[in-house]
Amino acid sequence: MSKLQNAIVGGVRTAMGYVPTSWLPGGTPDPLIDKRVNLGTQQSRVDGPEKVRGAARFAAEVKMDRLLYAACVHSTIARGRIVDLDASAAEGDSRGRAGHDPSQRAEDGNAAADRPYEPQGCGQQHPAGVMQDPEIRWNGQAVALVLAETQEQADHAASLIKVRYEATPARTRFEDAKADAQTPDSLLIERNRLKRGDAKAAFEAASHSVDAIYRTPWNNHNPIEPNAATISWDGDRLIVHDATQMLHGTAGSLAKVFGIKESQVYVSSPFVGGGFGGKAFWDHQILGAAAAKLAKRPVRIALSRASMHRLIGGRSPTEQRVALAADANGKLKAIVHHGFSVKPPHSACDEAFTLASRSLYACESFDVVQHTLDLDVLANTFMRAPGEAPGTFAVESAMDELAHGVGIDPIELRRRNLADKDAVSGAPHSQSDLMLAYELGAKRVGWERRAAKPRSRREGEWLVGMGCATGSFPYMRMPVRRCG
C-alpha cells in the first residue's frame, strides 16, 4: 500500500474505536454458538460420509459431456523472450485433439485472456495478460496449452511442442539482489517501518543481548489434491468447478479477465483436498476458461505435481536479523527485527515476517523493518501462517539464545516478558492463556526433566532435547520434546 492508503487505514482504525460493539462483526451472538463441540470428543465430519463412500466429487472429477483435457507447456528459461513456438508435431499427432498457443487471440474476442488483472486473493499478476506477450519472467511460466481427448494424449502432445527462446541474464541470486532491495511503505495493511523508543541506547545499556541472522528457504505448496478446474461456457456464462479457497475472488477475477459481469461467473468448490493458501487464483483457471471458449467444449485442467510447482506460488525465502536487548533479569528492553524477502513484480503477496515480533512480547523499544527483493522467480503467495511461521522461527530462536545467555529457563524468560496488551498499539487482548498453554505443554512432555546443558541427556542411543517455541495461526506457545 501507499502512504496515502496507510493514512486511510489508520483513520478507519481510529474511527472503529468509536463504533458501538453491536454494529461490528462478532458484536452479536454467533448463530452457530449452540453447535460448538467439546474439545477431545469424537465428532462426525459433515462431509465424512460422502468422502468415505467415494461420492465426493473434487474439481478434477466433475463429469461433463464432450470434455477435453489440457496440458501446459512450461518455459525452460528464467528470463528472456519466445522467438518461435512450433506446435506442428503436436497438432499432427494422431492422439492429440489440438495444440494451441493462447497468445493467438480468438476472433470471438477476449477468449485468450488478453486483459491485465490483479487477482482477488494473492495469486499472480500479469501486466499484459496471461500468455499475451513473448516475455518470460520465471522458469516454468506457461507458454502454451494443449487440448486432447484424454489427459495422456494431452501430456504427450505437450511434450512435442518445440519452443525457441532468446535468453537474457536472469536475476535468481538472493544475495545479489539485496543491493537493489525495495522498502515498501506497508506490509499487507500494516505500516512496514516501526520505530519506538531508543533501541540503540537500550543495547548500549543492556546486561544481555543477542544479535543473529536467521534464514528460511523457499517452501512449495504440496496439498494432497493438486490445483485443478473443470470449466465450461454456457453462452456468455462461465461455469467453473474449481479447487479454490476463494470463491468470490475467483469469480471476480475471471469476470475482469473475460470482460463479463461477476454474476455471469459461477464457481463451485464443495471439496478442497488441502489448501493452506495455495488454492487461490492462478494462471491455470484463466487458461482453462480461454481454451474452453476457443474450443467451444468443456475443458479440464488438472495440474500435475510438476506443473503445480511451476505455476502455484509458495513461501518466499527470508533472511532475518533479530537482535534482543535485556536487563539482568531477562526483561526485554529492545527488539530489532530487520530482513529481506522475495517479491517479484508479478507477485501480489507480502511474506510479512516482521509483523510477528511486534506483538509477541512486551518491550520498551522496537526497530522493525523489512525489504523486498525482485528476482526472476515464481510469485510467492499465502502459505499457512503467512509471515508468522518464518518470523516466529527467527524471534523464538533468538529468545532461546537469550535464555541461554541469561542463564534462565526458556519458559521463565517468556513468562517475564509476557504481554498483557498489544505491545505497539496498547490494545487489550481479548484472551491471553499463553502461560496456561506452556503449563499444559510442560506437564505433557515432562519439562521438569529438562537438562539446561545441551546434549547432556540420553535415552539409550538417542540424544533427547526439550525446547520451547511459539506456534502461529493463531499464536500458540508449547514446549516440545525432540529426539535425534
Q: For residues 81-90, give the mean pLDDT.
A: 95
Predicted confidence at residue 128, as pLDDT, reads 67
Least confident of 36-40, 43-47, 80-84: 36-40
Q: Per-residue pLDDT for 473 more than 50?
A: no
- Read off the pLDDT band of 474 (50, 70, 90): very low
Predicted confidence at residue 1, as pLDDT, reads 54
pLDDT in tens, 227-258: 999 999 999 999 999 999 999 999 999 999 99
The percent of residues in the chain predicted with pLDDT above 90, rounded, is 67
Predicted confidence at residue 453, as pLDDT, reads 87
Helices of type H across 108-265: 151-160, 174-177, 199-205, 247-258
Q: How far is residue 68's CA from residue 136's CA, in Å, rounded to a whole number?
A: 27
DSSP character at residue 295: H
Q: Position 431: which residue type?
A: Q
The percent of residues in the chain predicted with pLDDT above 70, rounded, is 82
Q: How far is residue 257's CA from residue 102's CA, in Å, rounded to a whole number?
A: 14
Q: For residues 462-471, give the mean pLDDT.
A: 84
Q: How far is residue 333's CA from residue 366's CA, in Å, rounded to a whole number?
A: 9
pTM of the entire structure?
A: 0.86
Least confident of 18-32, 177-191, 306-320, 446-460: 18-32
Helices 247-258, 283-295: axis angle to 10 degrees equals 50
Cα distances from 353 to residues 182, 184, 350, 395, in angstroms, run 16, 14, 9, 10
- Scan for cell 522496537, then name that residue: 366
- Average pLDDT over the chain reads 87
Q: Per-residue pLDDT for 116 more than 60?
A: no
Q: How far is residue 55's CA from residue 47's CA, in Å, rounded to a whole number?
A: 10
Q: Per-residue pLDDT for 144 more than 70?
A: yes
Q: How far is residue 209's CA from residue 339's CA, in Å, rounded to a whole number?
A: 19
DSSP character at residue 331: -
Bridge partner list, 247: none
Cα distances from 26 to residues 20, 31, 33, 466, in angstroms, run 12, 10, 11, 39
Three-class secondary structure of residue 299 per DSSP: strand
Cis peptide before 474 (omega within 30 of 0): yes
pLDDT in tens, 405-427: 999 999 999 999 999 888 888 88
Number of other CB atoms surrounding residue 135 within 10 Å = 14
- Read off the pLDDT band of 107 (50, 70, 90): very low
Q: How far is residue 406's CA from residue 330's CA, in Å, rounded to a whole number?
A: 6
Predicted confidence at residue 108, as pLDDT, reads 42
- Read off the pLDDT band of 328 (50, 70, 90): very high
Q: How far is residue 299's CA from residue 302's CA, in Å, rounded to a whole number?
A: 10
Q: For residues 6-24, give the mean pLDDT.
A: 65
Predicted confidence at residue 110, as pLDDT, reads 44
Residue ranges of domains in the chain: 59-168+245-311
Q: Per-residue pLDDT for 477 more than 50?
A: no
Q: Per-residue pLDDT for 300 more than 50?
A: yes
Cα distances from 449 to residues 68, 184, 443, 463, in angstroms, run 62, 46, 10, 14
- Scan for cell 498457443, then name that residue: 101
pLDDT in tens, 159-188: 999 999 999 999 999 999 999 999 999 998
Q: Per-residue pLDDT for 475 more than 60?
A: no
- Read off the pLDDT band of 295 (50, 70, 90): very high
Contacting residues for 231 by C-beta, under 8 A, at least 6 apart: 238, 239, 240, 241, 285, 288, 289, 292, 298, 299, 300, 301
DSSP character at residue 259: T
Helices of type H across 161-304: 174-177, 199-205, 247-258, 283-295
| Residue 346: closest CA among 311, 390, 386 | 311
Q: Domain spanning 59-168+245-311 has what CATH number?
A: 3.90.1170.50
Contacting residues for 160 by C-beta, under 8 A, at least 6 apart: 89, 90, 93, 96, 99
pLDDT in tens, 47-80: 889 999 999 999 999 999 999 999 999 999 999 9
- Read off the pLDDT band of 97 (50, 70, 90): very low
Expressed in percent and rounded to 5, the helix, strand and coil fractions of the chain are 30, 25, 45
Contacting residues for 163 by C-beta, under 8 A, at least 6 apart: 73, 75, 76, 82, 84, 85, 86, 143, 144
In this structure, are residues 354 and 319 in contact, taking their beta carbons and an 8 Å threshold? no
Among 14-18, 100-104, 368-372, the range with the most confident prediction by mean pLDDT is: 368-372
